[in-house]
């Protein structure tokens, strides 16, 4: 069966992409179009949840907390989460086809990153919840006796999960899995651009027997739509969000009245620093991969590269060659490693930065425009991979998150100068350093104002480690025990002995 017909099969069985409330797919809501970014065609429709549907989802989630889910032994919860992971694996081709249809990303990327990580997220947190310790302190009491304090983890309650379109299944399940592992119930609002894998996940939840109301899914947009209805809802106890910093600020305002717990993973303008002592080929290849993977639509991608002057010209030439060697195309075409941007709107934004860079005085080393194919792809949302040099450090293109396949390369002479330029940003999500000097690696990594720093690598993820941003790149940390800490409420019990 061709991959496209797998999508059709899933969509036909589920009908139009519907909302999932209290264990059932529900009808109702205004249909909206979901586009295939490869050619701009409409490949599906989803139903926008209105305020009443969001309300029903939150009420179902509340009821499930007080129902079988709340009483379920942890071992049984873990078994069910592992079943979800197994079922994603068993329905791998459907998830893959759905993700590719929504995003247009290369088959190789979705099949090696997005879908496997969707399953892995459930396995990791099913394990983590079994192995996380809680505290216990024995104390002396004023009357000469003892008391024992021990902490328990309780679920937060109903968690709203708002997820973006760049790594749809990966980033949604990164939140759903630990939330459920901790015993919460969830209402998920995936991006309006990418509702398909979330709908498949709802179907998996139903299949494996996750109790009704534990996982709810509402489709729609942000302001004055499902996103805002959900984040303003008085029945939501906590909100976890990945997306743009401005959206995070809007959600924070919506959450303020209810004093809801928040976990935010927001934007970035990440630096990469390449020292002259780096393994040159590894550094050029690693930076090219980091800048252009997923068409630059990764919040961790470096958009500012600082290269030590002795290797600057050679490095820029190497990066240009790598950019020009990318195979831009359809997801299933042999060798494709560069797909379209997510939407016409996002392409307008990225192309506006391509034009602005020229106005700001950039040298366009390569790219800067739209590729021409002479076929259906000309209706899609492609842009060229792009490299700039020559901009001032205060240029908007060096300061603002673009979220496209583009970077600016700046030379430096001294380590302190590179560190200062790298940290001169309102963001603090990720950085990547390339050097063979171990002392320098430790020194510079420590100096980085970033939630994660990779040395001689990028996007190497151990899911037990703290993950999140400093400054305007986020609030809180997720990953391993850090996720469990956010998605649960520690309570202390003090027993006088
Ligand atoms: N991971 C990241 O850091 C991401 C960054 N972006 C950046 O954000 C820009 C805008 O893209 P968008 O898709 O609009 O990202 P966004 O951050 O606005 O959307 C992410 C999610 O938030 C929801 N949302 C938007 N406004 C909301 C509101 N007021 N209340 C509740 N939910 C709301 C959206 O429906 C979507 O599910 C992109 O051009 C890109 O630069 C986009 C996606 C992911
Ligand atoms: O590996 C992860 O958990 C997350 C990776 C990427 C993002 O968070 C993002 O691009 O938003």
Q: What digits encode the pLDDT tens for the residues 9-23?
A: 444 444 599 999 999
Please tell me the distance between residue 248's alpha carbon and the centre of ligand 1 in angstroms: 8
Spans in the chain with pLDDT lower than 70: 1-15
Name all residues whose Cβ lies below 6 A of ligand 1. Answer: 162-166, 189, 191-192, 221-223, 227-228, 231, 242-244, 247, 250-251, 267, 299, 346, 349, 401, 403
- The answer to whether the beta carbons of residues 429 and 450 sit under 8 Å apart is yes
pLDDT given for residue 9 in this prediction: 44
pLDDT given for residue 6 in this prediction: 40
In the chain, residues under CATH classification 3.40.605.10 are 3-266+473-496
pLDDT given for residue 15 in this prediction: 58
265 is catalytic: yes
Please name the fold of domain 3-266+473-496: Aldehyde Dehydrogenase; Chain A, domain 1 (3.40.605)
> Cα–Cα distance between 409 and 388 in angstroms, integer?
6
pLDDT given for residue 3 in this prediction: 36
- 270-462 has which CATH code? 3.40.309.10
Ramachandran quadrant class, 269 (left: phi over 0; alpha: psi -120 to 50; beta: rest): beta
430 lines ligand 2 (CB under 6 A): no
pLDDT given for residue 7 in this prediction: 44
Write the burial class of residue 466 (CB in 10 Å: 0-12 exposed, 13-18 middle, 19+ buried).
Answer: middle
pTM equals: 0.96
Ligand nearest to the CA of 191: 1
Taking the CA atoms of residue 373, residue 382, residue 95 and residue 48 in that order, the dihedral angle to the nearest 10 degrees is -120
pLDDT given for residue 406 in this prediction: 99
461 lines ligand 2 (CB under 6 A): yes
pLDDT given for residue 491 in this prediction: 97
Q: Which of 48, 193, 228, 265 is catalytic?
A: 265
Residue 195 three-state SS: coil
Please tell me the distance between residue 247's alpha carbon and the centre of ligand 1 in angstroms: 6
> Cα–Cα distance between 164 and 161 in angstroms, integer?
10
pLDDT given for residue 127 in this prediction: 97
In the chain, residues under CATH classification 3.40.309.10 are 270-462
pLDDT given for residue 98 in this prediction: 97
Measured in degrees and rounded to the nearest 5, phi and psi for residue 396 equal -60, -35
Measured in degrees and rounded to the nearest 5, phi and psi for residue 46 equal -125, 160
């Amino acid at each position: 069966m061709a991959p496209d017909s797998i999508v059709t099969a899933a969509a036909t069985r589920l009908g139009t992409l519907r909302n999932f409330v209290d264990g059932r797919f529900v009808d109702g809501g205004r249909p909206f179009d979901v586009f295939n970014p490869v050619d701009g065609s409409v490949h599906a429709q989803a139903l926008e949840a209105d305020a009443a549907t969001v309300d029903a989802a939150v009420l179902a989630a509340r009821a499930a907390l007080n129902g079988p889910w709340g009483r379920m032994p942890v071992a049984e919860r873990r078994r069910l989460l592992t079943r979800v992971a197994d079922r994603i694996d068993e329905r791998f081709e459907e998830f893959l086809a759905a993700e590719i249809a929504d995003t247009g990303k290369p088959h190789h990327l979705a099949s090696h990153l997005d879908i496997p990580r969707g399953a892995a997220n459930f396995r990791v947190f099913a394990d983590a919840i079994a192995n996380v310790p809680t505290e216990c302190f024995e104390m002396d009491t004023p009357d000469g006796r003892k008391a024992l304090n021990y902490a328990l983890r309780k679920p937060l309650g109903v968690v709203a999960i708002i997820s973006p379109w760049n790594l749809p299944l990966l980033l949604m399940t990164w939140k759903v899995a630990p939330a459920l592992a901790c015993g919460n119930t969830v209402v998920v609002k995936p991006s309006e651009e990418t509702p398909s894998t979330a709908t498949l996940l709802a179907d998996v939840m139903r299949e494996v027997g996750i109790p009704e109301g534990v996982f709810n899914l509402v489709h729609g947009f942000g302001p004055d739509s499902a996103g805002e209805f959900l984040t303003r809802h008085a029945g939501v106890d906590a909100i976890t969000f990945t997306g743009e910093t401005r959206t995070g600020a809007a959600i924070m305002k919506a959450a303020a009245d209810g004093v809801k717990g928040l976990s935010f993973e927001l934007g970035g303008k990440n630096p990469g620093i390449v020292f002259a002592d780096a393994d040159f080929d590894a550094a050029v290849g690693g930076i090219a991969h980091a800048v252009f993977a997923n068409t630059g639509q990764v919040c961790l991608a470096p958009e500012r590269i600082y290269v030590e002057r002795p290797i600057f010209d050679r490095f820029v030439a190497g990066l240009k060659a790598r950019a020009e060697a990318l195979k831009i195309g359809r997801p299933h075409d042999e060798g494709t490693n560069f797909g379209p941007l997510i939407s016409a709107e996002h392409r307008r934004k990225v192309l506006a930065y391509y034009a602005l860079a020229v106005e700001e005085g950039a040298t366009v080393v390569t790219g800067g425009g739209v590729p021409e194919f002479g076929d259906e792809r000309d209706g899609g949302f492609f842009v060229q991979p792009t490299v700039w040099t020559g901009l001032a450090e205060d240029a908007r293109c060096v300061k603002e998150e673009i979220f496209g396949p583009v970077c600016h390369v700046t030379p430096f002479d001294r380590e302190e100068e590179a560190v200062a330029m790298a940290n001169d940003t309102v963001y603090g999500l990720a950085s990547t350093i390339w050097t063979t000097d171990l002392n320098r690696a430790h020194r510079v990594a420590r100096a980085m104002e970033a939630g994660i720093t990779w040395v001689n690598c990028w996007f190497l993820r151990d899911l037990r480690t703290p993950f999140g941003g400093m400054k305007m790149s986020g609030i809180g940390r997720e990953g391993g025990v850090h996720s469990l800490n956010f998605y649960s409420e520690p309570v202390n019990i003090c027993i006088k002995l």
